[in-house]
Copies of this chain bind each other. A is one copy, B any other.
Amino acid sequence: MNVRVCKCRFKIKIVMVGAMATMLLVSVLSFFAAPSDSIYIVEPGPKFPPTRGEVWPKPQQEKKSDYFYLFRPDVIQIEIVNKKCNLLNETIERYAEIWQRQYMIVKRYNNISTHVESHDSEKYLGVLKRLTINMSAPCEYYPHFDMDESYNLTVGANSQMTSLSVWGMMRAFESWTHLLYFTDDSKEIRINKTEIHDFPQYKHRGLLLDTGRHYLSLNTIQKTLDAMSINKMNVLHWHIVDDQSFPYKSEILPSLSEKGAFHPSMVYTKKDIKMIINYARDRAIRVIPEIDVPGHTRSWGAAYPMLLTKCYEKNKVIAYGPLNPIRSTTYKILGELIQEVQDLFPDRYYHVGGDEVDLSCWQSNPELKEYMKQHNLTANGVHAMFMKEVIGRVKKTTVPIVWQEVYDEKVPISKDTLIQVWKYKWVDEMIKILNSGHKVVFSSSWYLDYLNFNWNSFYGDDPRLMVYQKKKNARLENIVGGEACMWGEMADDTNVISRTWPRTSAVAERLWSGLDYKHPPKDPVTTHVRQRIEEHTCRMLRRGIAAEPPNGPGFCVNI
């Protein structure tokens, strides 16, 4: 940080969030001026010079030599020796193109076709000639929760990638691409002799995108998927609609987006969504939709006001609140919508929402008050009833994902339901969930809309480690993963990519590589990690992702 910043402020801010919210946001920022005689040691050049050819996220096992090959995409022969399929071919073509684009940088720096500098080095092993692809099971069509992403990779005399699945193959190709690095003069691409045995620690490694608060273009979503695949993430949690807008263009209920979208041009059609799902599939990424209910549904009311609960204050309607939980129309329309959405999204998992329900609105409504009295229900009980109804309307084979409130309010849910933990006191919450035999997806400390939190504050938060430190015998394997959440209030096409990356790369490495929770590092953010994320940021830039600087002063070349 610039020292200037730190000298010039002392502010206390108290901000009221929401018209009637009682929430206080107290942000006390105090800066003590440095005595004028302190030494500011600043070295010239980048704060953390990037590494070369380091894979991100860190592989489970990796043996690297400083002997190296030259990598030339026009020379290397790729041979498939076992199972084949279109998806594998397309993957190979996609990476060949990525390599080709990198090679064009090399060509820019070379006027002659042969270059011999590397030949002089005693570590030089020649030009890499051959790469064998050994996939041992037939391709699957869509990625899924239990897909096998493990792979082995050898760079050497007999370079090869082996994996059971095409998903693992995609991860192998990505790692291979990370191993490539440019020489100082940018005239060659090298790859070191390497052995990798790799697999993810967590099955569910997600990013939430919110298209309800600002519309995001298809191009931005595709860029996000590109970046996710560079970071070996495998779940796009698409929080598609919210209070502010309803961009999902339903074919059976078209007025929802006709009246609820920000603008007729700001919708996602069936065709758009299929394109996104396939684009994600090609990168081993699942797309899980969330149609959040019964809260966060204000935009539904533009087309169907009768779906919403009227909130009262002193016998007067003051606002529209959550979906009306006691009208059959609500469930009918919701059921139809869920069915349509589930027909479109192939994933077995479906996010039913269930967070931040304005119970006070339900409590204020005379009709609902009467209902609660008759049925001897609290407002929480009504929420539970509602969520039970919703979960009953998803496909029989579907596994629901819910925000933690649904669990907290004791809605009957199956053991395989994923409970997304996002609130404060997350460790206690996770322990409670694990104790009851349920499964956790962690998000609490990975909120990207909170700009004060840099990648390094995300990096150490391994949810299994956090639980283990408080309770040694918890069923840690039931923490199946986590998600970074990019809430969209202040993010649109102009800034969502640079806010998300490389900060989410920290989450990606945590979920893929894990931390040794029995022997955790004192500070996981080492100088080496800082240098690695510098390289990784430059790599994303080279691949067309506008990832912002992670650590401070520096630069990227060959982009």
Residue A1 CB within 8 A of the other chain? yes
| A553→B488 contact, CB < 8 A | yes
Q: When chains A and B are docked, how far (Å) is the Cα of A4 from the Cα of B311?
A: 22
Q: Which residues of B contact A21 (CB under 8 A)?
A: 3, 34, 38-40
Cα distance A494–B538 in the bound complex, in angstroms: 11
Bound form: Cα–Cα A553–B210 in Å: 11
Instruction: Convert A470-498 into 0s and 1s, putting 1 for each residue whose CB lies closer than 8 angstroms to a CB of B.
Output: 00000000000000010111111011011
Q: Output the least CB separation between A24 and chain B (Å).
A: 5
A552 contacts the other chain (CB 8 A): yes
Asked if A39 and B311 sit within 8 Å, CB to CB, the answer is yes
Contact A39:B8 (CB < 8 A) given known A17-B1, A423-B33, A548-B494: no
A250 part of interface (Cβ distance < 8 Å): no
Complex CA gap A228/B231 in Å reads 37
Q: Are B549 and A490 in contact (CB under 8 A)?
A: yes
Any chain B CB within 8 A of the CB of A9?
yes
The answer to whether A244 touches B553 (Cβ under 8 A) is: yes
- Chain B residues in 8 Å Cβ range of A361: 39
Q: Say yes or no: A33 contacts B424, CB within 8 Å.
A: yes
Q: Is the Cβ of A445 less than 8 Å from the Cβ of B9?
A: yes
Contacts of A485 in B (CB 8 A): 4
Q: Does A324 contact B (CB under 8 A)?
A: no
Q: Of A124-132, A283-291, A295-303, which binds chain B?
A: A295-303
**Binary B-proximity of A528-550 (CB < 8 A = 1, otherwise 0):** 00000000000001000011110
A363 within 8 A of B: yes
Contacts of A252 in B (CB 8 A): none
Known A-B contacts A549-B492, A555-B262; A355 and B23 likewise in contact (beta carbons under 8 Å): no
Which of the 9-residue segments A41-49, A114-122, A152-160, A269-277 touches chain B? A41-49
Does A444 contact B548, Cβ atoms closer than 8 Å? no
Q: Kindly report how many copies of this chain are found in the complex they form together.
A: 2
Chain B residues, CB < 8 A from A499: 495
- Which positions 69-128 of chain A face chain B at CB distance < 8 Å? none
Q: Is the CB of B41 within 8 A of A20?
A: yes
Cα–Cα distance between A266 and B46 once the two chains are bound (Å): 13
The docked-state distance in angstroms from the alpha carbon of A444 to that of B423 is 36
A214 within 8 A of B: yes
Q: State the CA gap A375–B465 with chains docked (Å).
A: 61
Contact among B8, B243, B552 with A42 in the assembled complex (CB-CB below 8 Å): B243
Q: What bracket does the count of chain A residues touching chain B fall in?
A: 35 or more
In the assembled complex, which residues on chain B have CB atoms less than 8 Å from the CB atom of A295?
A: 40
Which residues of the partner chain B approach A494 to less than 8 Å between Cβ atoms? Answer: 497-498, 541, 546-549
**CA A490 to CA B295, docked complex, whole Å:** 37
Contact of A17 (CB < 8 Å), options: B6, B265, B426: B6
> Are B44 and A5 in contact, with the CB atoms below 8 A?
no
Interface segment among A338-346, A393-401, A449-457: the answer is: A449-457
Q: How far is the CB of A507 from chain B (nearest CB, A)?
A: 15
The CA-CA distance from A491 to B546 in the complex, in Å, is 12
| Docked-complex contact B489 and A1, CB < 8 angstroms | yes
Report how far A547 CA is from B214 CA in the complex, Å: 14
Residues A449 and B5 in contact in the complex (CB < 8 Å), given A262-B46, A541-B494: yes
Within the assembled complex, what's the spacing in Å between the Cα atoms of A42 and B487? 16
- A4 and B244 in contact, given A9-B445, A19-B41, A20-B38 (Cβ under 8 angstroms): no
Q: Are A265 and B557 in contact (CB under 8 A)?
A: yes
Q: How far is the CA of A360 from the CA of B39 in the complex (A)?
A: 6
A338, B210: Cα distance in complex, Å: 51
CB distance from A181 to the nearest CB of B (A): 16
Q: Of B30, B43, B302, which one neighbours A44 at CB under 8 angstroms?
A: B302
Q: Across the two chains, which residue of chain B brings its CB closest to A318?
A: B41
Please list 16 pairs of residues, one from A and one from B, whose beta carbons are closer than 8 Å in the complex, sorted by A's number: A1-B15, A1-B25, A1-B489, A2-B213, A2-B489, A4-B422, A6-B23, A21-B39, A24-B32, A38-B360, A39-B358, A40-B358, A43-B298, A214-B553, A214-B554, A214-B555
Q: A9-B424, A25-B31, A214-B554 are in contact. List 14 more A-B contacts (CB 8 A).
A: A8-B423, A8-B447, A18-B38, A27-B28, A27-B452, A33-B424, A41-B318, A212-B553, A213-B552, A214-B553, A490-B552, A491-B548, A492-B548, A494-B498
